[in-house]
Amino acid sequence: MPTTEAQQAETPTRGRVLVVDDDDGIRRSFRRSLRSAGFFVEEAGEGSSAVARVPGGNFDVILSDIDMPGMDGIALLRAVRELDLDVPVVFITGTPRVETAVQALEHGACRYLTKPVGEHELVQSIERAVQLRRMATWRRQALSHLGVEGAPGFDRAGLEAGFLRAIDGLWIAFQPVVRWSAGKLFGHEALVRSREPSLPNPGAILHAAERLDRLIELGRKIRTGVASHLPALPLDGCVLVNLHPSDLDDPDLVSRDSPLGAHASRIILEITERASLDHVSNARRQVAMLRELGYRIAIDDLGAGYAGLTSVAQLEPEVVKLDMSLVRNIDVEPTKQRLVRSMIDLCRDMGIEIIVEGVETVSERDTLVSLGADLLQGYLFGRPAAIPTP
Ligand code: G
Ligand code: MN
């Protein structure tokens, strides 16, 4: 039974959704599905009145049609991004087109659904978008507390001890990247690992380093570790090394005498698209210096974050790495296929090499190859593993 406006206001909700569609019937049906799933729903029949509701509307997600008279969905998304950087926007369209899908991605839309959308798919997509919204808010709050001594639960001494043990037990795993058409190895990605149980994964180590203001030290330790393995890796293959944005502030990175300096022509430095480069004062200049030293630059995790393609425009990388979230189940998801194909075409036009990450099944691989992908990485080809020292 559909919930009324009054009931809506009383019941705790699973999230606040703004539904934008010029078709009354479709809007009504979305409203019905979402309300009975426990969401609070507000509606707008066109783009500009939707934008007017965003400030103060406290929406967790905006669900919008793309083709609407007046302000269309893409213009709506642009206007919304000026007001709120985080609110996820889910598009639904009856006429899917690659151009609009790419524009949607560029402006940070989080899903692109094709009509007709089943009730289950609709509710699930909105649920995921609400989770994204909450994670973004949570992350922002967490970041604003980082390193604040005396903040609840901040045990600096304990964290420091764990971090030192992690640094001591640090080791580097390597995962192959293959060039499928040639049946050859393209290179390896270096991935940091630790033996410290309190910091069990790279994310935890990096987070600890952030809180302790020791990112530079960690970055140097990782790069020294990578360099020590270079003699054991094939000379004609490249080595992909992940940077944290703050590594770009480290003078050691741009020094010819740094551990990787002598091997720069073999090294591709990955800069993640998940983190903002805004606070790195001179990212572009540092990247230009890295190029002068002979390094190539890759944008990592493309398609995973909100930043869209701005990092590609800012840094003009030689390589981009498509995030594995675009790969998972690509064999059965036509929307992902269209997006990945257009990203591949776009990169080819711009002369950028594209590596697709996280390929796990033969069927994902075959779909990717049929879409034009050639450089592939993932468990299907090899898990990250230790390289025996020579
Ligand atoms: O952010 P970045 O792309 O550098 O992270 C790569 C991470 O993904 C590594 O920690 C690696 O272990 C993991 N990884 C590599 N290949 C696969 C894969 O095929 N599937 C999954 N789920 N994870 C992978
Ligand atoms: Mn990476």
Nearest atom (ligand 1) to Cα of 359: 19
User: Per-residue pLDDT tens for 258-280?
Assistant: 999 999 999 999 998 766 666 56
Q: Which two three-digit tokens encode residue 367?
A: 């779909």
Regarding the beta carbon of 360 and ligand 1, being less than 6 Å apart is answered yes
Mean pLDDT for 150-163 is 71
Regarding the beta carbon of 323 and ligand 1, being less than 6 Å apart is answered no
Q: Which ligand is nearest to the CA of 357?
A: 1
Task: Tell me what pLDDT residue 98 has.
Answer: 72
**58 contact partners, CB below 8 Å, separation of at least 6:** 16
Q: Which ligand is nearest to the CA of 271?
A: 2
Regarding the beta carbon of 176 and ligand 1, being less than 6 Å apart is answered no
Regarding the beta carbon of 357 and ligand 1, being less than 6 Å apart is answered yes
Q: Which of 324, 329, 365, 368 to mutate to test the pocket of ligand 1 (most atoms within 8 A of CB)?
A: 324
Least confident of 95-99, 143-147, 168-172, 309-313: 143-147
Average pLDDT, the chain: 86
64 compared with 390, residue with greater pLDDT:
64
Q: Which of 191, 207, 364 to mutate to test the pocket of ligand 1 (most atoms within 8 A of CB)?
A: 191
Task: Tell me what pLDDT residue 77 has.
Answer: 87
Q: How far, in Å, is the centroid of ligand 1 from the Cα of 321? A: 11
User: Per-residue pLDDT tens for 186-204?
Assistant: 999 999 999 988 888 898 9
Nearest atom (ligand 1) to Cα of 360: 19
Regarding the beta carbon of 384 and ligand 1, being less than 6 Å apart is answered yes
**Cα atoms found within 13 Å of the Cα of residue 5, Cβ hemisphere only:** 2
Distance from C-alpha of 43 to C-alpha of 53, rounded to nearest angstrom: 9
105 compared with 44, residue with greater pLDDT:
44
Q: Which ligand is nearest to the CA of 301?
A: 1
Q: How far, in Å, is the centroid of ligand 1 from the Cα of 324? A: 8
Distance from C-alpha of 242 to C-alpha of 299, rounded to nearest angstrom: 10
Per-residue pLDDT band for 149 (boundaries 50, 70, 90) equals: very low
- The CA R_g of the chain, rounded to the nearest whole Å, is 23
User: Per-residue pLDDT tens for 55-82?
Assistant: 888 898 999 999 899 999 988 888 887 7
Task: Tell me what pLDDT residue 277 has.
Answer: 65
Of all protein residues, the one whose alpha carbon is nearest to atom 3 of ligand 1 is 301
Of all protein residues, the one whose alpha carbon is nearest to atom 23 of ligand 1 is 358
**123 contact partners, CB below 8 Å, separation of at least 6:** 33, 34, 37
Distance from C-alpha of 312 to C-alpha of 277, rounded to nearest angstrom: 12
Of all protein residues, the one whose alpha carbon is nearest to atom 9 of ligand 1 is 191
Task: Tell me what pLDDT residue 1 has.
Answer: 45
Q: Which ligand is nearest to the CA of 360?
A: 1
Task: Tell me what pLDDT residue 142 has.
Answer: 55
Regarding the beta carbon of 364 and ligand 1, being less than 6 Å apart is answered no
Q: Above pLDDT 70, what percent of the chain?
A: 86
Q: Looking at the predicted structure, is the pLDDT value of residue 346 above 90?
A: no
Distance from C-alpha of 371 to C-alpha of 253, rounded to nearest angstrom: 36
Mean pLDDT for 224-243 is 95
150 compared with 135, residue with greater pLDDT:
135
Name the nearest CA neighbour of 45 among 14, 76, 2, 5.
Answer: 76
Least confident of 7-16, 31-40, 86-95: 7-16
Per-residue pLDDT band for 148 (boundaries 50, 70, 90) equals: very low
Mean pLDDT for 227-232 is 95
Of all protein residues, the one whose alpha carbon is nearest to atom 12 of ligand 1 is 384
Residues 44, 62 contacting (CB under 8 angstroms):
no
Task: Tell me what pLDDT residue 102 has.
Answer: 73
Nearest atom (ligand 1) to Cα of 379: 19
Q: Looking at the predicted structure, is the pLDDT value of residue 177 above 80?
A: yes
Q: How far, in Å, is the centroid of ligand 1 from the Cα of 358? A: 6
Of all protein residues, the one whose alpha carbon is nearest to atom 4 of ligand 1 is 242
User: Per-residue pLDDT tens for 355-383?
Assistant: 999 999 999 999 999 999 999 999 999 99
User: Per-residue pLDDT tens for 295-344?
Assistant: 999 999 888 754 557 777 778 899 999 999 999 999 999 989 998 998 89
Q: Which of 321, 357, 375, 379 to mutate to test the pocket of ligand 1 (most atoms within 8 A of CB)?
A: 357
Q: How far, in Å, is the centroid of ligand 1 from the Cα of 151? A: 32
